[in-house]
Amino acid sequence: MKRVINYSAGPAGIPVEVLEQARDEMLDWNGTGCSVMEVSHRGKDYDALHMGTMDLFRELAGLGPDYNVLFCTGGASTQFLMLPMNYLGAGKEADYVVTGNWSQAAVKEAKRYGKITHPADMHLGDGMFVAIPKQGELKLNPAAEYVHYTSNNTVEGTEWHYVPDVKGKPLVCDMSSDIFSRPVDFKKFSMIYAGAQKNLGPSGVTVVAVKDDFLQKAHDDLPTMMSYKVFKEKFSMHNTPPCFSIYILNLVMKWLKKNGGLEAMGKINEQKQKLLYSAIDGSAGYFKGTANVDSRSWMNVDFKLPTPELDAKFVSDAKAAGIIQTKGYRTMGGIRLSCYNAVSLKDVETTVQFMQDFKAKNPA
Ligand SMILES: *Cc1c(COP(=O)(O)O)cnc(C)c1O
């Protein structure tokens, strides 16, 4: 058996130790004589796992009990509608910073529920985004119920390197593709959410952390499965939760904690991105980064080779060398290396060597 170096943008790689533990426990989890998929979600074994996973999330994020951890389904995409459904309505407004494909998708849903304004819209036309706005460029709407932004733009390879100051408005962030990749002051947010399948585990569960005071402002009269208040009151067990995804989320967070938490992960991720961007910048223009240098993402490293033919050859030669899923998003072309937490520093070192060899063998 051979594990590949996996640059998938999502669902992404999962740490090998986590997969091994899941394998070992597949037939007999926690002494139950069955897998975690086969026990009642109302039983004590699952309940301890479920509640423990919420606690572990708060612990890693440095959040207190005033934050409610919710396990939702339908991906981050369902948060695009659940959030405005819970807070907007006739006459209500919200601020959405537009920095990429996913923030545009969030706006599309929010518009169904209220008037949406943009503190900044970084769209350059033709689906192109290369930059994150600076604090001074943000024009906040005083009537907004909340301000929403996307901390890492998975498609375009840009990332916020600061938490914006939104002058006391509730701050909401889609952290799907950089959550727990480095320390962040999570207490600055009224709500964050993330589909698990990039940095936290498998698809199927979306983690939402929402502060009490903001949660209290959510509407009451909503369809049950769309109500943040119901998720809180029922501890995300009004219906059957995605038990297996939550179990893997738990194991991934234990792995994170064992390896030094967000602090340690941040140091590794910083080194990873430095190695990759140095390889790009040191290639005399052979590899060209697509994002503005000051907005570059640590998680999704996007670049182009001199021709689309060389991009395609890079993808296929990389695959032959055991480095997979390097192709850029369909609207972007080029190469995207998604270096989430499960991609090791050694994986990146191997990749940089591959890039240098490729350049030597395939002159422009
Ligand atoms: C992947 C991604 C999404 C969509 O997530 P789903 O779980 O597939 O709905 C939303 N936002 C960001 C930033 C993403 O990276």
Query: Among all chains, which residue has been given the structure tokens 């339908």?
Result: 74
Concatenating the DSSP letter of every residue in 293-355 gives GGGB-SSEEEEE-SSHHHHHHHHHHHHHTTEE--BPPTTT-SEEEE--TTS-HHHHHHHHHHH
Mutating to test ligand 1, I would choose from 72, 73, 77 the residue with most ligand atoms within 8 A of its C-beta, which is: 77
pLDDT digits (tens, 9 = 90+) for 268-307: 999 999 999 999 999 999 999 999 999 999 999 999 999 9
Contact by Cβ (8 Å): 128, 157: no
CATH dotted code for 16-258:
3.40.640.10
Element (DSSP H or E) covering residue 117:
strand 115-117
Give the ligand 1 atom nearest the CA of 10: 1
Decide which of 3.90.1150.10, 3.40.190.150, 3.40.640.10, 3.10.290.10 is the CATH code for 260-361: 3.90.1150.10
Q: Do domains 16-258 and 260-361 have the same CATH topology?
A: no
Active site residues: 102, 174, 198
The Å distance, Cα 195 to ligand 1 centre, comes to 6
Residue-level pLDDT, tens digit, the chain, 364 residues: 789 999 999 999 999 999 999 999 999 999 999 999 999 999 999 999 999 999 999 999 999 999 999 999 999 999 999 999 999 999 999 999 999 999 999 999 999 999 999 999 999 988 899 999 999 999 999 999 999 999 999 999 999 999 999 999 999 999 999 999 999 999 999 999 999 999 999 999 999 999 999 999 999 999 999 999 999 999 999 999 999 999 999 999 999 999 999 999 999 999 999 999 999 999 999 999 999 999 999 999 999 999 999 999 999 999 999 999 999 999 899 999 999 999 999 999 999 999 999 999 999 9
Residue nearest to atom 10 of ligand 1 (CA): 76
Q: Where are the domains positioned within the chain?
A: 16-258, 260-361
Question: Which residues approach ligand 1 with their CB closer than 6 A?
Answer: 10, 75-77, 102, 150, 154, 174, 176-177, 195, 198
Give backbone dihedrals phi and psi of 13, rounded to 5 degrees, phi first. -60, 155
Q: Which amino acid does the sequence have at 136?
A: G
pLDDT digits (tens, 9 = 90+) for 195-250: 999 999 999 999 999 999 999 999 999 999 999 999 999 999 999 999 999 999 99
CA distance linking residue 29 with residue 125, whole number of Å: 51
CA distance linking residue 339 with residue 276, whole number of Å: 10
Residue nearest to atom 14 of ligand 1 (CA): 176
The Å distance, Cα 76 to ligand 1 centre, comes to 5
